[in-house]
Chains A and B, each alone.
Chain A
Amino acid sequence: MNKTEIKNIVNITKFNLKVNFKSILGWSIAIFLITFLYMILFPSMKDLATMKMEAMPKEMLQFFGLDSLNNMNNYIHYFGMMFNMIIITISVYAVSLSSKLICGEEKTKSIEFLNSLNVNRNEIYISKLITAFISLIIVLLSAVIAGLICGLAVGGETFILMDFISIVKLGGISVFIFMSISFLLSGISSKMNVSMISSIIIFGTYLIGYLGVLLEKRWLVYFSPIETLNVNGALNMTSSTYASIFVYLGIIILSILFGNYYYKRRDFNI
Protein backbone atom coordinates (compact mmCIF):
# COMPACT_ATOMS: atom_id res chain seq x y z
CA MET A 1 0.00 0.00 0.00
CA ASN A 2 1.52 3.32 -1.06
CA LYS A 3 1.29 6.82 0.43
CA THR A 4 -1.54 7.97 -1.86
CA GLU A 5 -3.64 4.93 -1.00
CA ILE A 6 -3.16 5.52 2.73
CA LYS A 7 -4.02 9.20 2.26
CA ASN A 8 -7.18 8.26 0.35
CA ILE A 9 -8.22 5.75 3.04
CA VAL A 10 -7.71 8.39 5.75
CA ASN A 11 -9.74 10.96 3.77
CA ILE A 12 -12.66 8.60 3.10
CA THR A 13 -12.63 7.39 6.72
CA LYS A 14 -12.78 10.96 8.06
CA PHE A 15 -15.61 11.73 5.64
CA ASN A 16 -17.55 8.59 6.61
CA LEU A 17 -17.16 9.43 10.29
CA LYS A 18 -18.50 12.91 9.57
CA VAL A 19 -21.45 11.52 7.60
CA ASN A 20 -22.26 9.00 10.38
CA PHE A 21 -21.43 11.35 13.26
CA LYS A 22 -25.01 11.71 14.49
CA SER A 23 -25.65 7.97 14.54
CA ILE A 24 -22.38 7.28 16.40
CA LEU A 25 -23.10 10.05 18.88
CA GLY A 26 -26.69 8.89 19.39
CA TRP A 27 -25.68 5.28 20.04
CA SER A 28 -22.83 6.32 22.33
CA ILE A 29 -25.10 8.50 24.45
CA ALA A 30 -27.81 5.82 24.57
CA ILE A 31 -25.38 3.06 25.56
CA PHE A 32 -23.70 5.33 28.12
CA LEU A 33 -27.04 6.21 29.71
CA ILE A 34 -28.34 2.63 29.78
CA THR A 35 -25.12 1.34 31.34
CA PHE A 36 -24.89 4.25 33.75
CA LEU A 37 -28.50 3.98 34.91
CA TYR A 38 -28.24 0.24 35.53
CA MET A 39 -24.84 0.35 37.19
CA ILE A 40 -25.48 3.37 39.39
CA LEU A 41 -28.38 1.46 40.90
CA PHE A 42 -26.02 -1.32 41.97
CA PRO A 43 -26.14 -0.55 45.73
CA SER A 44 -29.93 -0.61 45.85
CA MET A 45 -30.22 -3.42 43.33
CA LYS A 46 -27.67 -5.85 44.71
CA ASP A 47 -29.90 -7.29 47.43
CA LEU A 48 -32.92 -7.28 45.20
CA ALA A 49 -30.91 -8.88 42.39
CA THR A 50 -29.61 -11.61 44.68
CA MET A 51 -33.15 -12.32 45.85
CA LYS A 52 -34.44 -12.32 42.30
CA MET A 53 -31.63 -14.60 41.16
CA GLU A 54 -32.44 -17.05 43.88
CA ALA A 55 -36.02 -17.02 42.71
CA MET A 56 -35.08 -17.40 39.05
CA PRO A 57 -35.01 -20.86 37.43
CA LYS A 58 -31.55 -22.29 36.78
CA GLU A 59 -32.22 -22.28 33.01
CA MET A 60 -32.88 -18.55 33.07
CA LEU A 61 -29.61 -17.93 34.88
CA GLN A 62 -27.84 -20.07 32.29
CA PHE A 63 -29.46 -18.06 29.51
CA PHE A 64 -27.93 -14.88 30.92
CA GLY A 65 -24.61 -16.61 31.66
CA LEU A 66 -25.06 -16.16 35.40
CA ASP A 67 -25.32 -19.75 36.55
CA SER A 68 -21.90 -19.72 38.22
CA LEU A 69 -22.31 -16.22 39.62
CA ASN A 70 -24.28 -16.60 42.75
CA ASN A 71 -22.99 -13.41 44.32
CA MET A 72 -24.75 -10.40 42.92
CA ASN A 73 -23.38 -8.34 45.78
CA ASN A 74 -20.27 -8.21 43.66
CA TYR A 75 -20.07 -5.20 41.31
CA ILE A 76 -17.98 -7.10 38.74
CA HIS A 77 -20.52 -9.92 38.54
CA TYR A 78 -23.37 -7.44 38.27
CA PHE A 79 -21.51 -5.51 35.53
CA GLY A 80 -20.71 -8.78 33.74
CA MET A 81 -24.40 -9.63 33.54
CA MET A 82 -25.27 -6.17 32.25
CA PHE A 83 -22.36 -6.03 29.83
CA ASN A 84 -23.53 -9.26 28.17
CA MET A 85 -26.81 -7.57 27.27
CA ILE A 86 -25.02 -4.41 26.15
CA ILE A 87 -22.73 -6.46 23.90
CA ILE A 88 -25.79 -7.97 22.18
CA THR A 89 -27.20 -4.45 21.67
CA ILE A 90 -23.90 -3.07 20.32
CA SER A 91 -23.56 -6.13 18.06
CA VAL A 92 -26.91 -5.27 16.48
CA TYR A 93 -25.59 -1.73 15.92
CA ALA A 94 -22.35 -3.20 14.50
CA VAL A 95 -24.16 -5.21 11.83
CA SER A 96 -26.54 -2.41 10.99
CA LEU A 97 -23.67 0.11 10.66
CA SER A 98 -21.51 -2.26 8.60
CA SER A 99 -24.28 -3.05 6.17
CA LYS A 100 -25.19 0.64 5.96
CA LEU A 101 -21.61 1.56 5.13
CA ILE A 102 -21.31 -0.97 2.30
CA CYS A 103 -24.83 -1.84 1.06
CA GLY A 104 -26.43 1.46 2.10
CA GLU A 105 -24.16 3.40 -0.27
CA GLU A 106 -25.39 1.21 -3.12
CA LYS A 107 -29.04 1.52 -2.13
CA THR A 108 -28.83 5.32 -1.96
CA LYS A 109 -26.59 5.31 -5.07
CA SER A 110 -24.08 7.62 -3.35
CA ILE A 111 -21.50 4.98 -4.30
CA GLU A 112 -21.70 6.42 -7.84
CA PHE A 113 -20.22 9.63 -6.47
CA LEU A 114 -17.65 7.94 -4.23
CA ASN A 115 -16.55 5.54 -6.95
CA SER A 116 -16.09 8.38 -9.45
CA LEU A 117 -13.40 9.92 -7.25
CA ASN A 118 -9.81 8.90 -7.75
CA VAL A 119 -10.08 5.85 -5.48
CA ASN A 120 -10.28 2.09 -5.93
CA ARG A 121 -12.59 -0.43 -4.30
CA ASN A 122 -9.89 -1.65 -1.94
CA GLU A 123 -9.53 1.85 -0.51
CA ILE A 124 -13.31 2.20 -0.19
CA TYR A 125 -13.64 -1.15 1.61
CA ILE A 126 -10.74 -0.55 4.01
CA SER A 127 -11.96 2.95 4.86
CA LYS A 128 -15.45 1.58 5.58
CA LEU A 129 -13.90 -1.07 7.81
CA ILE A 130 -11.87 1.50 9.76
CA THR A 131 -14.96 3.72 10.06
CA ALA A 132 -16.96 0.82 11.53
CA PHE A 133 -14.08 -0.12 13.83
CA ILE A 134 -13.65 3.43 15.19
CA SER A 135 -17.42 3.89 15.59
CA LEU A 136 -17.78 0.64 17.53
CA ILE A 137 -14.79 1.43 19.72
CA ILE A 138 -16.44 4.77 20.59
CA VAL A 139 -19.78 3.11 21.41
CA LEU A 140 -18.05 0.36 23.43
CA LEU A 141 -16.00 2.96 25.26
CA SER A 142 -19.15 4.81 26.28
CA ALA A 143 -20.36 1.63 28.03
CA VAL A 144 -16.93 1.07 29.55
CA ILE A 145 -16.68 4.66 30.83
CA ALA A 146 -20.15 4.44 32.37
CA GLY A 147 -19.23 1.11 34.01
CA LEU A 148 -15.94 2.54 35.23
CA ILE A 149 -17.48 5.70 36.70
CA CYS A 150 -20.16 3.70 38.50
CA GLY A 151 -17.59 1.14 39.64
CA LEU A 152 -15.46 3.84 41.20
CA ALA A 153 -18.51 5.55 42.69
CA VAL A 154 -20.57 2.65 44.01
CA GLY A 155 -18.56 -0.53 43.42
CA GLY A 156 -16.64 -0.35 46.65
CA GLU A 157 -14.29 -3.23 47.39
CA THR A 158 -16.00 -5.48 44.87
CA PHE A 159 -14.85 -3.29 41.99
CA ILE A 160 -11.61 -4.86 40.79
CA LEU A 161 -10.19 -2.96 37.86
CA MET A 162 -8.29 -5.89 36.34
CA ASP A 163 -11.43 -8.07 36.32
CA PHE A 164 -13.39 -5.18 34.85
CA ILE A 165 -10.83 -4.81 32.04
CA SER A 166 -10.88 -8.59 31.38
CA ILE A 167 -14.68 -8.57 30.96
CA VAL A 168 -14.57 -5.56 28.64
CA LYS A 169 -11.68 -6.90 26.55
CA LEU A 170 -13.18 -10.31 26.06
CA GLY A 171 -16.78 -9.21 25.60
CA GLY A 172 -15.76 -6.56 23.06
CA ILE A 173 -14.40 -9.23 20.70
CA SER A 174 -17.96 -10.45 20.02
CA VAL A 175 -18.93 -7.08 18.54
CA PHE A 176 -16.09 -7.24 16.02
CA ILE A 177 -16.93 -10.84 15.08
CA PHE A 178 -20.44 -9.79 14.06
CA MET A 179 -19.12 -6.64 12.37
CA SER A 180 -16.73 -8.74 10.25
CA ILE A 181 -19.49 -11.22 9.35
CA SER A 182 -21.61 -8.29 8.22
CA PHE A 183 -18.70 -7.00 6.10
CA LEU A 184 -18.30 -10.47 4.59
CA LEU A 185 -21.98 -10.68 3.65
CA SER A 186 -22.01 -7.10 2.32
CA GLY A 187 -18.89 -7.86 0.31
CA ILE A 188 -20.48 -10.94 -1.26
CA SER A 189 -23.70 -9.21 -2.24
CA SER A 190 -25.62 -6.11 -1.35
CA LYS A 191 -28.84 -7.54 -2.76
CA MET A 192 -29.60 -9.47 0.42
CA ASN A 193 -30.75 -7.88 3.66
CA VAL A 194 -27.36 -8.11 5.34
CA SER A 195 -28.46 -6.31 8.48
CA MET A 196 -31.32 -8.73 9.08
CA ILE A 197 -29.29 -11.86 8.27
CA SER A 198 -26.47 -10.71 10.56
CA SER A 199 -28.94 -9.97 13.37
CA ILE A 200 -30.37 -13.48 12.95
CA ILE A 201 -26.79 -14.80 13.25
CA ILE A 202 -26.31 -12.80 16.49
CA PHE A 203 -29.45 -14.15 18.16
CA GLY A 204 -29.13 -17.58 16.53
CA THR A 205 -25.61 -18.16 17.83
CA TYR A 206 -26.63 -16.81 21.22
CA LEU A 207 -29.46 -19.33 21.41
CA ILE A 208 -27.18 -22.16 20.28
CA GLY A 209 -24.77 -21.18 23.04
CA TYR A 210 -27.61 -21.19 25.55
CA LEU A 211 -28.73 -24.63 24.38
CA GLY A 212 -25.13 -25.80 24.71
CA VAL A 213 -25.09 -24.72 28.37
CA LEU A 214 -28.55 -26.13 29.03
CA LEU A 215 -27.83 -29.50 27.43
CA GLU A 216 -24.29 -29.49 28.83
CA LYS A 217 -22.85 -29.83 25.34
CA ARG A 218 -19.76 -27.66 25.53
CA TRP A 219 -19.03 -27.81 21.79
CA LEU A 220 -22.30 -26.00 21.07
CA VAL A 221 -21.27 -23.11 23.32
CA TYR A 222 -18.30 -22.30 21.07
CA PHE A 223 -20.74 -21.35 18.29
CA SER A 224 -21.74 -18.40 20.47
CA PRO A 225 -19.00 -15.83 20.99
CA ILE A 226 -21.24 -13.92 23.39
CA GLU A 227 -21.69 -17.03 25.56
CA THR A 228 -18.05 -18.11 25.31
CA LEU A 229 -16.63 -14.66 26.01
CA ASN A 230 -19.03 -13.72 28.80
CA VAL A 231 -18.18 -12.82 32.37
CA ASN A 232 -17.55 -16.48 33.32
CA GLY A 233 -15.06 -16.82 30.49
CA ALA A 234 -13.34 -13.57 31.43
CA LEU A 235 -12.97 -14.41 35.11
CA ASN A 236 -12.04 -18.06 34.59
CA MET A 237 -9.72 -18.08 31.60
CA THR A 238 -8.91 -21.64 30.57
CA SER A 239 -6.93 -23.03 27.65
CA SER A 240 -10.19 -23.59 25.76
CA THR A 241 -11.08 -19.90 26.24
CA TYR A 242 -7.72 -18.93 24.71
CA ALA A 243 -8.29 -21.40 21.86
CA SER A 244 -11.74 -19.99 21.16
CA ILE A 245 -10.35 -16.42 21.16
CA PHE A 246 -7.79 -17.57 18.61
CA VAL A 247 -10.53 -19.10 16.43
CA TYR A 248 -12.73 -15.99 16.72
CA LEU A 249 -9.84 -13.73 15.70
CA GLY A 250 -9.31 -16.05 12.73
CA ILE A 251 -13.00 -15.66 11.81
CA ILE A 252 -12.67 -11.87 11.99
CA ILE A 253 -9.59 -11.78 9.74
CA LEU A 254 -10.93 -14.30 7.21
CA SER A 255 -14.36 -12.61 7.02
CA ILE A 256 -12.73 -9.24 6.35
CA LEU A 257 -10.34 -10.66 3.74
CA PHE A 258 -13.03 -12.63 1.89
CA GLY A 259 -15.44 -9.68 2.11
CA ASN A 260 -12.82 -7.48 0.47
CA TYR A 261 -12.07 -10.15 -2.15
CA TYR A 262 -15.71 -10.36 -3.24
CA TYR A 263 -16.34 -6.62 -2.97
CA LYS A 264 -13.59 -5.96 -5.51
CA ARG A 265 -15.05 -8.49 -7.93
CA ARG A 266 -18.78 -7.88 -7.88
CA ASP A 267 -21.13 -5.43 -9.55
CA PHE A 268 -22.41 -2.56 -7.48
CA ASN A 269 -26.11 -3.08 -6.87
CA ILE A 270 -27.30 0.26 -8.24
Chain B
Amino acid sequence: MIKVKNLTKNYGKLKAVDNTSFNVNKNEIIGFVGKNGAGKTTTIRTILNMLFPTKGEIKVDNLDSITESKKIKEILSYVSSDNDYYYNIKVIDLFKFCIKFSKTKLNKAKELSKYFELDINKKISELSSGNRKKVSIIQALLKENKIIIFDEPTNGLDPLMQKKFFDLILEEKKKGITIFLSSHNLNEVEKYCDRVIFIRSGKIVDIIDIKKDNKINNYIISYKTKSNKIEKYEYSDDLNKLLKKLSLLDIKDLEIRKKTIEEEFIYYYRSDKDE
Protein backbone atom coordinates (compact mmCIF):
# COMPACT_ATOMS: atom_id res chain seq x y z
CA MET B 1 0.00 0.00 0.00
CA ILE B 2 2.91 2.34 0.81
CA LYS B 3 6.27 1.70 -0.83
CA VAL B 4 9.18 3.81 0.35
CA LYS B 5 12.27 3.22 -1.77
CA ASN B 6 15.73 4.57 -0.94
CA LEU B 7 14.26 7.66 0.68
CA THR B 8 16.73 10.32 1.76
CA LYS B 9 15.76 13.67 3.18
CA ASN B 10 18.41 16.22 4.05
CA TYR B 11 17.99 19.50 5.91
CA GLY B 12 21.15 21.22 4.82
CA LYS B 13 23.95 18.99 6.10
CA LEU B 14 21.67 17.02 8.42
CA LYS B 15 20.39 13.71 7.09
CA ALA B 16 16.96 13.38 8.67
CA VAL B 17 16.14 10.24 6.68
CA ASP B 18 18.96 8.21 5.20
CA ASN B 19 18.39 5.84 2.28
CA THR B 20 15.35 4.26 3.88
CA SER B 21 13.19 1.59 2.26
CA PHE B 22 10.12 -0.21 3.58
CA ASN B 23 6.71 -1.41 2.48
CA VAL B 24 3.38 -1.17 4.22
CA ASN B 25 1.03 -4.00 3.25
CA LYS B 26 -2.65 -3.63 2.56
CA ASN B 27 -4.93 -3.95 5.58
CA GLU B 28 -2.23 -4.15 8.22
CA ILE B 29 -1.57 -1.99 11.23
CA ILE B 30 2.07 -1.07 11.11
CA GLY B 31 3.90 0.60 13.95
CA PHE B 32 6.62 3.18 13.29
CA VAL B 33 8.88 3.45 16.29
CA GLY B 34 11.92 5.55 17.07
CA LYS B 35 13.35 8.13 19.42
CA ASN B 36 12.58 11.83 19.06
CA GLY B 37 14.42 13.11 16.00
CA ALA B 38 14.85 9.62 14.54
CA GLY B 39 13.13 10.64 11.30
CA LYS B 40 9.56 9.38 11.86
CA THR B 41 7.70 12.64 11.29
CA THR B 42 9.99 13.61 8.40
CA THR B 43 9.22 10.29 6.70
CA ILE B 44 5.48 10.80 7.22
CA ARG B 45 5.57 14.39 5.98
CA THR B 46 7.46 13.25 2.88
CA ILE B 47 4.80 10.59 2.21
CA LEU B 48 2.21 13.39 2.48
CA ASN B 49 4.15 15.66 0.08
CA MET B 50 4.65 18.34 2.70
CA LEU B 51 8.38 17.77 2.24
CA PHE B 52 10.13 16.81 -0.96
CA PRO B 53 12.55 13.87 -0.87
CA THR B 54 16.21 14.64 -1.51
CA LYS B 55 16.48 11.21 -3.10
CA GLY B 56 14.29 8.17 -3.55
CA GLU B 57 10.63 7.69 -4.25
CA ILE B 58 7.38 6.96 -2.45
CA LYS B 59 4.33 5.22 -3.89
CA VAL B 60 0.99 5.12 -2.12
CA ASP B 61 -1.44 2.65 -3.69
CA ASN B 62 0.86 2.81 -6.75
CA LEU B 63 0.48 6.59 -6.95
CA ASP B 64 3.55 8.80 -6.93
CA SER B 65 3.76 10.92 -3.77
CA ILE B 66 4.81 14.07 -5.67
CA THR B 67 3.04 14.04 -9.03
CA GLU B 68 -0.14 12.34 -7.82
CA SER B 69 -0.37 13.71 -4.30
CA LYS B 70 -3.92 14.95 -4.73
CA LYS B 71 -5.12 11.50 -5.81
CA ILE B 72 -3.34 10.06 -2.77
CA LYS B 73 -5.23 12.44 -0.50
CA GLU B 74 -8.51 11.04 -1.82
CA ILE B 75 -7.69 7.76 -0.11
CA LEU B 76 -5.35 8.80 2.69
CA SER B 77 -6.02 10.66 5.92
CA TYR B 78 -3.54 12.01 8.40
CA VAL B 79 -3.60 12.76 12.09
CA SER B 80 -0.72 15.03 13.00
CA SER B 81 1.18 14.81 16.28
CA ASP B 82 0.44 18.52 16.77
CA ASN B 83 -3.21 19.45 17.06
CA ASP B 84 -2.95 22.83 15.41
CA TYR B 85 -6.08 24.26 13.89
CA TYR B 86 -7.70 27.60 13.36
CA TYR B 87 -8.43 28.45 16.96
CA ASN B 88 -11.18 31.00 16.44
CA ILE B 89 -13.67 28.69 14.75
CA LYS B 90 -16.09 26.15 16.16
CA VAL B 91 -15.45 22.40 15.90
CA ILE B 92 -18.68 21.92 13.93
CA ASP B 93 -17.55 24.53 11.38
CA LEU B 94 -14.24 22.73 10.95
CA PHE B 95 -16.07 19.45 10.30
CA LYS B 96 -18.46 21.19 7.88
CA PHE B 97 -15.39 22.45 6.03
CA CYS B 98 -13.80 18.97 5.96
CA ILE B 99 -16.81 17.20 4.50
CA LYS B 100 -16.83 19.61 1.56
CA PHE B 101 -13.78 17.68 0.32
CA SER B 102 -15.27 14.22 0.72
CA LYS B 103 -18.53 12.39 0.13
CA THR B 104 -19.21 12.02 3.84
CA LYS B 105 -22.27 13.51 5.54
CA LEU B 106 -22.11 15.71 8.63
CA ASN B 107 -23.96 13.01 10.56
CA LYS B 108 -20.81 10.89 10.60
CA ALA B 109 -18.93 13.73 12.28
CA LYS B 110 -21.74 14.07 14.82
CA GLU B 111 -21.75 10.32 15.53
CA LEU B 112 -17.99 10.22 15.98
CA SER B 113 -18.10 13.28 18.23
CA LYS B 114 -20.72 11.57 20.36
CA TYR B 115 -18.56 8.42 20.49
CA PHE B 116 -15.54 10.45 21.63
CA GLU B 117 -17.65 12.67 23.93
CA LEU B 118 -16.63 15.83 22.12
CA ASP B 119 -18.64 19.06 22.27
CA ILE B 120 -18.76 20.23 18.65
CA ASN B 121 -20.29 23.59 19.48
CA LYS B 122 -17.17 24.77 21.29
CA LYS B 123 -14.48 26.86 19.68
CA ILE B 124 -11.19 25.03 19.09
CA SER B 125 -9.43 27.53 21.35
CA GLU B 126 -11.69 26.40 24.21
CA LEU B 127 -10.69 22.72 23.90
CA SER B 128 -8.06 20.91 25.93
CA SER B 129 -5.20 19.26 24.04
CA GLY B 130 -6.89 15.86 24.46
CA ASN B 131 -10.11 17.18 22.95
CA ARG B 132 -8.18 18.79 20.13
CA LYS B 133 -6.64 15.39 19.47
CA LYS B 134 -10.17 14.00 19.21
CA VAL B 135 -10.97 16.67 16.60
CA SER B 136 -7.88 15.58 14.71
CA ILE B 137 -8.90 11.91 14.82
CA ILE B 138 -12.51 12.60 13.81
CA GLN B 139 -11.60 14.80 10.84
CA ALA B 140 -9.31 12.02 9.60
CA LEU B 141 -12.09 9.46 9.82
CA LEU B 142 -14.49 11.62 7.80
CA LYS B 143 -12.98 10.55 4.48
CA GLU B 144 -13.56 7.30 2.62
CA ASN B 145 -10.04 6.15 3.45
CA LYS B 146 -7.86 3.31 2.31
CA ILE B 147 -4.97 4.40 4.52
CA ILE B 148 -4.78 6.46 7.70
CA ILE B 149 -1.48 7.77 9.02
CA PHE B 150 -1.46 8.50 12.73
CA ASP B 151 1.42 10.42 14.28
CA GLU B 152 1.23 10.03 18.07
CA PRO B 153 -2.57 9.61 18.04
CA THR B 154 -3.08 8.87 21.73
CA ASN B 155 -0.97 11.73 23.10
CA GLY B 156 -3.24 13.67 25.42
CA LEU B 157 -6.06 11.11 25.39
CA ASP B 158 -7.13 9.57 28.69
CA PRO B 159 -6.96 5.73 29.01
CA LEU B 160 -10.68 5.34 28.33
CA MET B 161 -10.46 7.40 25.14
CA GLN B 162 -7.30 5.53 24.12
CA LYS B 163 -9.24 2.28 24.34
CA LYS B 164 -12.15 3.77 22.41
CA PHE B 165 -9.70 4.99 19.79
CA PHE B 166 -8.13 1.56 19.30
CA ASP B 167 -11.52 -0.17 19.24
CA LEU B 168 -12.44 2.16 16.40
CA ILE B 169 -9.13 1.54 14.63
CA LEU B 170 -9.69 -2.22 14.80
CA GLU B 171 -13.15 -1.66 13.28
CA GLU B 172 -11.57 0.36 10.49
CA LYS B 173 -9.09 -2.46 9.93
CA LYS B 174 -11.96 -4.90 9.53
CA LYS B 175 -13.23 -2.68 6.71
CA GLY B 176 -9.90 -3.21 4.93
CA ILE B 177 -8.15 0.00 5.88
CA THR B 178 -4.38 0.14 6.30
CA ILE B 179 -3.13 1.90 9.43
CA PHE B 180 0.30 3.49 9.75
CA LEU B 181 0.91 4.27 13.40
CA SER B 182 3.84 6.32 14.60
CA SER B 183 4.00 6.12 18.36
CA HIS B 184 6.17 6.32 21.44
CA ASN B 185 3.74 4.15 23.35
CA LEU B 186 5.32 0.73 22.88
CA ASN B 187 2.59 -1.12 24.76
CA GLU B 188 -0.07 0.02 22.30
CA VAL B 189 2.22 -0.76 19.37
CA GLU B 190 2.76 -4.29 20.68
CA LYS B 191 -0.91 -4.79 21.40
CA TYR B 192 -2.43 -3.53 18.16
CA CYS B 193 0.18 -3.61 15.40
CA ASP B 194 0.90 -6.47 13.02
CA ARG B 195 4.42 -5.30 12.26
CA VAL B 196 6.79 -2.71 13.69
CA ILE B 197 9.40 -0.64 11.89
CA PHE B 198 12.30 0.58 14.04
CA ILE B 199 13.97 3.75 12.82
CA ARG B 200 17.14 5.23 14.26
CA SER B 201 19.07 8.25 12.98
CA GLY B 202 17.03 8.21 9.80
CA LYS B 203 17.77 4.56 9.03
CA ILE B 204 15.52 1.54 9.34
CA VAL B 205 17.25 -0.75 11.83
CA ASP B 206 14.67 -3.54 11.87
CA ILE B 207 11.19 -4.54 10.79
CA ILE B 208 9.53 -7.05 13.09
CA ASP B 209 6.45 -9.16 12.55
CA ILE B 210 4.99 -9.12 16.05
CA LYS B 211 3.09 -12.38 15.75
CA LYS B 212 5.72 -14.39 13.90
CA ASP B 213 9.13 -12.91 14.47
CA ASN B 214 11.41 -14.91 16.76
CA LYS B 215 12.94 -11.78 18.21
CA ILE B 216 9.65 -10.96 19.87
CA ASN B 217 8.74 -14.56 20.60
CA ASN B 218 11.96 -15.17 22.49
CA TYR B 219 11.75 -15.75 26.23
CA ILE B 220 13.36 -13.71 28.93
CA ILE B 221 14.50 -15.99 31.73
CA SER B 222 15.43 -14.55 35.07
CA TYR B 223 16.07 -16.49 38.24
CA LYS B 224 17.62 -16.15 41.65
CA THR B 225 19.54 -19.00 43.23
CA LYS B 226 19.56 -19.82 46.93
CA SER B 227 22.97 -18.18 47.13
CA ASN B 228 21.20 -14.99 45.90
CA LYS B 229 22.88 -15.04 42.52
CA ILE B 230 20.67 -13.39 39.90
CA GLU B 231 20.78 -14.51 36.26
CA LYS B 232 18.88 -13.01 33.33
CA TYR B 233 19.12 -14.05 29.69
CA GLU B 234 17.23 -14.39 26.45
CA TYR B 235 16.19 -17.88 25.36
CA SER B 236 14.83 -18.99 21.99
CA ASP B 237 15.07 -22.79 22.02
CA ASP B 238 12.64 -25.53 23.13
CA LEU B 239 10.97 -24.81 26.49
CA ASN B 240 11.27 -28.45 27.65
CA LYS B 241 15.01 -28.27 27.28
CA LEU B 242 15.00 -25.08 29.29
CA LEU B 243 12.98 -26.62 32.09
CA LYS B 244 15.35 -29.59 32.27
CA LYS B 245 18.27 -27.25 32.46
CA LEU B 246 16.64 -25.15 35.16
CA SER B 247 15.70 -28.21 37.23
CA LEU B 248 19.37 -28.86 37.78
CA LEU B 249 19.80 -25.48 39.44
CA ASP B 250 19.13 -24.56 43.01
CA ILE B 251 16.48 -21.89 42.23
CA LYS B 252 14.79 -19.69 44.79
CA ASP B 253 12.83 -17.45 42.42
CA LEU B 254 12.04 -17.79 38.71
CA GLU B 255 10.40 -15.71 36.00
CA ILE B 256 9.83 -16.82 32.41
CA ARG B 257 8.12 -14.37 30.09
CA LYS B 258 7.97 -13.31 26.49
CA LYS B 259 10.23 -10.53 25.31
CA THR B 260 8.46 -7.17 24.83
CA ILE B 261 8.71 -4.61 22.07
CA GLU B 262 10.01 -2.22 24.71
CA GLU B 263 12.99 -4.49 25.35
CA GLU B 264 13.60 -4.74 21.62
CA PHE B 265 13.41 -0.94 21.40
CA ILE B 266 15.88 -0.53 24.25
CA TYR B 267 18.16 -3.05 22.54
CA TYR B 268 18.32 -0.82 19.45
CA TYR B 269 18.67 2.41 21.34
CA ARG B 270 20.80 1.44 24.33
CA SER B 271 23.90 2.49 22.45
CA ASP B 272 24.09 5.72 20.51
CA LYS B 273 27.48 4.90 19.09
CA ASP B 274 26.14 4.86 15.51
CA GLU B 275 24.31 8.15 15.85
Contacts and interface: CB of A to CB of B under 8 A. Distances in A.
Interface of A: 7-8, 11, 15, 18-19, 22, 108-113, 115-120, 265-268, 270
Contacts of A15: 97
Most buried by A among B73, B84, B98, B102: B84
A268 B101 CA distance: 21
Interface residue tally of chain B, by bracket? 20 to 34
Given A19-B86, A19-B89, A115 B48 contact: yes
Nearest to A270: B50
A119 B72 CA distance: 10
29 contacts: A7-B100, A11-B97, A11-B100, A11-B101, A19-B86, A19-B89, A22-B88, A108-B84, A109-B80, A109-B84, A112-B50, A112-B78, A112-B80, A112-B82, A112-B84, A115-B50, A116-B48, A116-B80, A116-B140, A117-B73, A117-B101, A118-B101, A118-B102, A118-B143, A119-B73, A266-B52, A267-B52, A268-B45, A268-B51
Interface in B139-169: 139-140, 143
B43 interface: no
A119 B101 contact: yes
B73 A113 contact: no
Nearest to A111: B50
Given A11-B101, A18-B93, A112-B80, A267 B73 contact: no
Nearest to A22: B88
B50 A267 contact: yes
B69 interface: yes
Contacts of B82: 109, 112
B136 to A, nearest CB: 8
A77 to B, nearest CB: 42
Most buried by B among A108, A110, A265: A110
Nearest to B74: A118
Contacts of B183: none
A270 B88 contact: no
Contacts of A118: 70, 73-74, 101-102, 143
A116 B52 contact: no
A265 B73 contact: no
Contacts of B45: 112, 268, 270
Given A118-B73, A119-B101, 15 more contacts: A7-B100, A8-B101, A18-B93, A108-B84, A110-B85, A112-B50, A113-B136, A115-B48, A115-B49, A115-B50, A116-B48, A117-B73, A118-B102, A268-B45, A270-B45
A113 B51 CA distance: 14
A79 B140 CA distance: 52
A270 B44 CA distance: 12
A165 B131 CA distance: 51
Nearest to B44: A112
Contacts of A119: 70, 73, 101
A110 B84 contact: yes
B182 interface: no
A261 to B, nearest CB: 14
Contact of B50 (A7, A11, A18, A268): A268
B194 to A, nearest CB: 24
Most buried by A among B85, B136, B139: B85
Most buried by B among A22, A111, A270: A270
Q: Which 9 A-B pairs have the closest CB atoms?
A: A109-B84, A116-B78, A118-B101, A112-B80, A120-B70, A267-B51, A117-B101, A19-B86, A268-B50
A19 B88 contact: yes
A127 to B, nearest CB: 12
Contacts of B136: 113
Contacts of A117: 73, 98, 101
A113 B101 contact: no
Contacts of B73: 116-119
Contacts of B101: 8, 11, 117-119
